[in-house]
Amino acid sequence: MADRDLASPGAPTDKRGQPDPGQTRRSVAVIGAGWAGCAAAVELAQAGYKVTLLEAARTFGGRARRVDTDRAHLDNGQHILLGAYSETLRLMQLTGVARDQAVLTLPLQMRYPPNTGGMDFVAPSLPLPAPLHLLTALFRAQGLTGEDKLSLARFTTSARWMDWQLHNDCSVSELLERFDQTPRLIALMWRPLCLAALNTPPERASAQIFLNVLRDSLGARRRASDMLLPRTDLSKLFPEAAAAWVEARGGSARGGAKVQAIRSIEGRLWQLDISGSAVGGTWSTYFGGVVLATGASQAATLLHDIPGRDTSALCARLTAFEPEAITTVYLQYDAAIRLKLPFYALRDDPGNHHYGQFVFDRGQLDASQAGLLAVVISASGPAAAQPQELLAEAVAVQLAVDFQWPELGRPDWFKVITEKRATYACAPGLRRPANDTGLPGLVLAGDYTAASDAAKNYPATLEAAVRSGVAAAALLKRSAVQ
């Protein structure tokens, strides 16, 4: 029976249905199978804990997952990983994901379609030490004036000199002004990079978090600045491999299992009420520890309702995040349609209905997706307000104009996916909660938590989620869940 299967790893009860503390102590529930929850589950299973991974949705991956539509298997949004995503890449490898098959590795680049007045900037594939790879790319870059190049060199030199640290956080726009960046470099390089990495426009984005990302990519060894494009769907890329890995170590992973309530039992155990198709009704079960790896607002709802615990201060912090949307417009053409490069930056101009910021040729990543282009719009509020047909049409026209290729204006079909709560606005001085909730044996994991070392704080990304999951597992291992 599904419910018994679900209950078995985490719910060793005695004959009267009461929790058996002796057996329950080393069992841990991970609530949420996004990338943070999956990372925590893997780390705990590796440490010998009996892990139960509970996911409300049918598909694992959370905000980076496969979406099954009537036409095709798509992702909820095109993602890019960086070579600097060290923890994500480590756990992918641990769980048996073959990197070369799973992602296409490209050197750092910002390449616009020719004739759009953009630029062509690409790091050399030679293994040059930083910052030589960047300087070489700068020297070779086309579409930038001498003044633009000098301004970029000035930025990286100054940032290195400051050790990528600001005394007081400010907006990315203020930082760029302080470093005397040219309007063209801002438009072609810094703004798109800031939108892609922080999903927040430079006027509102945290300069310190931006510098943290630049330090680990532009400022580090060349491989850290590589851009990795998923060749498989996002659920396969890590979450499903992680779930299988946990199950192979005696744990269990269930989709369609929503945690409705959390209760503390005598301060030693945690009781979860779980409902959904995987459990066939509602089921209560007990664990020695809990990793709460949902989004921040869902975590607040569950924490708020824990009887006998005052979590109001933490809940206030969890509900203070401002959501930012990301829209991906998928356009399917004839399978013979192929761009020259796997992806391009685009010059967006919402005033003229040019919303697209990057376009990815999925066919160059996965042969089964030949002719499928994915156009990404970060911080997509105004674009997402458009009716989907109009938005898709506008994006198709933008591609036809930019690539001077009329066929791109006439896709066979399209699919617009807007994630309204894709990330949180990564504003200056944002206060993020730690993994530690102050409740023994209950920790938080998610892309929104603060790193123990502030210099390691990342924006809402896969790497932030995975690092948070790893930190949550480490905390639980150190705590009373022995």
Among 56, 84, 123, 205, which residue interacts with ligand FAD (rule: CB under 6 A)?
A: 56
233 lies in the binding site for ligand FAD (CB under 6 A): no
Residue (37 or 131) nearer to ligand FAD, CB: 37
Choices 16-24, 292-300, 392-400, 404-412 (CB under 6 A): range interacting with ligand FAD: 292-300
Q: Which DSSP helix (H) or strand (E) runs through 315?
A: helix 312-318
For residue 142, is it left (φ>0), alpha (ψ between -120 and 50) or beta?
beta
Contacts 24+ apart (CB under 8 A), 95-102: 95/42, 95/238, 95/241, 95/242, 95/244, 95/245, 96/241, 96/245, 97/237, 97/238, 97/241, 101/231, 101/232, 102/230, 102/231, 102/232, 102/236, 102/237
326 lies in the binding site for ligand FAD (CB under 6 A): yes
Q: Least CB distance from residue 422 to ligand FAD, whole Å?
A: 3
| 3-class state of residue 46 by DSSP | helix
Q: Least CB distance from residue 295 to ligand FAD, whole Å?
A: 4
228 lies in the binding site for ligand FAD (CB under 6 A): no
Q: Least CB distance from residue 139 to ligand FAD, whole Å?
A: 28
80 lies in the binding site for ligand FAD (CB under 6 A): yes
402 lies in the binding site for ligand FAD (CB under 6 A): no
d(CA 51, CA 430): 32
Q: Build a one-symbol-per-residue string for 246-275: x at contacts with ligand FAD by CB under 6 A, - elsewhere.
A: ------------xx----------------
361 lies in the binding site for ligand FAD (CB under 6 A): no
348 lies in the binding site for ligand FAD (CB under 6 A): no
193 lies in the binding site for ligand FAD (CB under 6 A): no
Quote the tokens at residue 56: 């409300």
Helix ranges restricted to H, 97-164: 99-102, 132-140, 146-161
224 lies in the binding site for ligand FAD (CB under 6 A): no
Tell the residue number behind the tokens 């498989």, with chain if given.
Answer: 232
Closest CA to 189 of 55, 357, 410, 365: 357
Tell the residue number behind the tokens 């993994």, with chain if given.
Answer: 435
d(CA 481, CA 56): 25
461 lies in the binding site for ligand FAD (CB under 6 A): yes
| Residues in 100-119 that interact with ligand FAD by CB under 6 A | none
Among 12, 62, 202, 441, which residue interacts with ligand FAD (rule: CB under 6 A)?
A: 62
CA distances from 15 to 12, 18, 19, 20 (A): 10, 7, 9, 10
42 lies in the binding site for ligand FAD (CB under 6 A): no
Quote the tokens at residue 64: 């980076």
Quote the tokens at residue 165: 């640290």
Closest CA to 298 of 429, 151, 421: 421
Q: Least CB distance from residue 466 to ligand FAD, whole Å?
A: 8
Among 9, 10, 12, 77, which residue interacts with ligand FAD (rule: CB under 6 A)?
A: 77
Q: Least CB distance from residue 462 to ligand FAD, whole Å?
A: 4
CB atoms within 10 A of CB 456: 13
Q: Least CB distance from residue 278 to ligand FAD, whole Å?
A: 10
64 lies in the binding site for ligand FAD (CB under 6 A): yes
12 lies in the binding site for ligand FAD (CB under 6 A): no
465 lies in the binding site for ligand FAD (CB under 6 A): yes
d(CA 333, CA 355): 19
Non-local CB neighbours of 98 within 8 Å, separated by 6+ positions: none
d(CA 260, CA 257): 9
Residue 432 near residue 457, CB atoms below 8 Å: yes
Q: Least CB distance from residue 178 to ligand FAD, whole Å?
A: 27
Choices 11-19, 74-82, 246-254, 395-403 (CB under 6 A): range interacting with ligand FAD: 74-82
Q: Least CB distance from residue 91 to ligand FAD, whole Å?
A: 13
Q: Least CB distance from residue 448 to ligand FAD, whole Å?
A: 7
Q: Least CB distance from residue 117 to ligand FAD, whole Å?
A: 25
Residue (56 or 141) nearer to ligand FAD, CB: 56
Q: Which DSSP helix (H) or strand (E) runs through 395?
A: helix 388-402
Could you tell me how many residues of this chain bind ligand FAD (CB under 6 A)? 36
Q: Which residues in this chain contact ligand FAD in the complex, by CB under 6 A?
A: 31-37, 54-57, 62-64, 76-77, 79-80, 258-259, 293-295, 298, 326, 328, 419, 422-423, 446-447, 460-463, 465
